[in-house]
Structure 1
């Protein structure tokens, strides 16, 4: 019998409620006619109109509203479709689902609501209509966070190290952990490179849906870091869940364009002003003419936006200081975002903070010019203990007090080491003491969870 975490929850597909309706709309004067040598006149526009009908039919049939029977957040409603078609959406209840896909769920305790969406697909004088019936779930009950989930990988030194491992905190203590599933992977990649690193899990703003994204990369057995940044993956690995135990089938989603040599350490943050997630990762970008990616380059932080981790906007540069940076992570306090990023330059006397973490701040998530706060985070001195080098920062707020934790991966050393502060804006971080993390945790995420979520994880995966 498969382990509970390996059981897949099927993804709900669109549910059509209107049959396809094609309307050929002839506008203006009657079309010119051509006469064959031996037959009656043939409309000159007949073939073109037939071709447009076929294109519109195909474009309408290709439309999908994902998870239509279990809507829990904003949805993607495209404005354009196949063959250059234009799409207009109408909603039977725009207070619940707008024609542009914003979702306002019923309050906790109410019944689910049924909403019908109609897509009108147009090309020239031809149009088709396609309908979908949506079930919008009520909001979940708001419960306090009383523990933490830790998702991570354990390194490229073992065959199962580049897969998803999990641990849960002992009560509400983020410095002491119990491994789940006996320390074995809880999710295993079967797509792309068939290795996953740097897992990041995010809770939806409504609170009852989770997305786990990770780097498509397997170094075990080859060790070729140069090739991994020239001809590496342009994809993210994606899973989703509503309970943190049962996960969907893995999705292999392209987010980088063909000039990218790699797509490393993806993370995401919800942006209320966009009504979407901002997903960011590191890529080396090559000249478009250098299709083999043989030239020089360096890692920049890229971003794209999404509502469903299926459809992404085109990638854009988010942070480019002119040298290599990777592994950004973000937390928000009040109206200010704080970003932590690894300076990937080689450590020299002229760059003493290289291979450590830099902190910046901004009041706008998509700003490309953040304000400097601090650098050399994690590096020790005569007074403060520290690490030899660091990457893969993950940052989160304590459930119980005005304190933030920053776990930094001492790669080539101890793996994750926790630091803490009571003032994010200060940029001063102190190494935690008396901690007991899982065995060999590498770049991952700590997610605050409720007691019910903690209990379910322990019961299903053991600890």
Structure 2
């Protein structure tokens, strides 16, 4: 009898463990970026299956494109997404939300750089939910000619990172400078390890570098310290980060070689190339990773 009870408990534990594992969702786009939102899912965080078709066609911005879709699940289980609407020109980014990733709110254009008439671009907005302040932080890269020391970049390619905060995606704080490392920087991602322990994963966009580095800070708004040496090769960008067990995977677009790669780390100091262990849909481009329920995945797979 004891043996039977033990086996039942063991089976229940196994079932509980299997059902508690998250399903990962990776947002993406396809060149030339007019097709809109593409999605892929994974049950282990390494092997990704593409979901057929576009899940949201871009309707706003002068170019009506969707690049770099960044998504986060809010406390109310609503998915909030922002994206790049124009390669050059424009003073804002796109925004929409959804409960099931199929039916979306009306797309909105958020003109976060409206007070900067000389702004060249608004690139790769990224959402981070600050659970300690109960607010969303949105960061992006922009160039404002002659605003910063020129360095080695031409004035229209000398990016810095900016941010706004919001609690409801209806009202936003004033735009402020987020990160100035002393060189052109784009494609930043905020990662929380613990209270007062944050990582900024970033692309050094200067011509000799164009690779990915990290910096450390005690708040999601910084200040972040001096960036590290690069842990990726020349011509890499668009990092996104997911935690699996006690490690972090950093996916990135290794665009020089026209492939996608991943690095594994437990401390953001030592990195292991695990690209041979990942599988992504053909044509996958810069996006972010979140989690979804089995119900949401079922709806995505059965979408007509």
Same structural fold, with TM-score higher than 0.5 when normalized by the shorter chain: yes
Name the count of aligned residue pairs.
Answer: 275
Paired position in structure 2 for 1:296: 155
Residue 211 of structure 1 contacts residue 240 of structure 1 at CA under 8 Å; is this kept in 2? yes
Q: Does 1:146 align with 2:22?
A: yes
In structure 2, do the counterparts of structure 1 residues 266 and 364 end up closer, same or farther at CA, with 3 Å as the change threshold?
same
Matches of residues 82-121 of structure 1 in structure 2 within 5 Å? none
Matches of residues 294-443 of structure 1 in structure 2 within 5 Å? 296-297=155-156, 298-335=158-195, 336-347=197-208, 354-368=209-223, 370-372=224-226, 374-379=228-233, 388-398=234-244, 401-421=245-265, 423-443=266-286
**Residue-by-residue CA offset, 1:316-349 (whole Å, 9 max, x unaligned):** 11111222100001111122111100000011xx
- CA distance in 1 between counterparts of 2:76 and 2:65 reads 29
- CA distance in 2 between counterparts of 1:144 and 1:373 reads 36
Q: Does 1:210 align with 2:71?
A: no
> 1:373, CA displacement in angstroms?
6.4
**Residue-by-residue CA offset, 1:120-179 (whole Å, 9 max, x unaligned):** xxxxxxxxxxxxxxxxxxxxxxx94521111111223x753xx2111112xx22222221
- CA distance in 2 between counterparts of 1:424 and 1:146 reads 22
Matches of residues 145-184 of structure 1 in structure 2 within 5 Å? 145-156=21-32, 160=35, 163-169=36-42, 172-181=43-52, 184=53
Q: Give TM-score scaled by structure 1 length.
A: 0.56
> 1:299, CA displacement in angstroms?
0.3
> 1:427, CA displacement in angstroms?
4.0
**Residue-by-residue CA offset, 1:24-55 (whole Å, 9 max, x unaligned):** xxxxxxxxxxxxxxxxxxxxxxxxxxxxxxxx
Q: Give TM-score scaled by structure 2 length.
A: 0.83
- CA distance in 2 between counterparts of 1:253 and 1:186 reads 21
- CA distance in 2 between counterparts of 1:217 and 1:327 reads 15
SS in 2 for 1:374: coil
**Residue-by-residue CA offset, 1:400-437 (whole Å, 9 max, x unaligned):** x222110011124334212212x134342323323220
- CA distance in 2 between counterparts of 1:272 and 1:323 reads 30
Note the residue ranges of structure 1 that are not aligned, 5 or more in a row.
1-142, 219-227, 289-294, 348-353, 380-387
Residue 94 of structure 2 contacts residue 110 of structure 2 at CA under 8 Å; is this kept in 1? yes
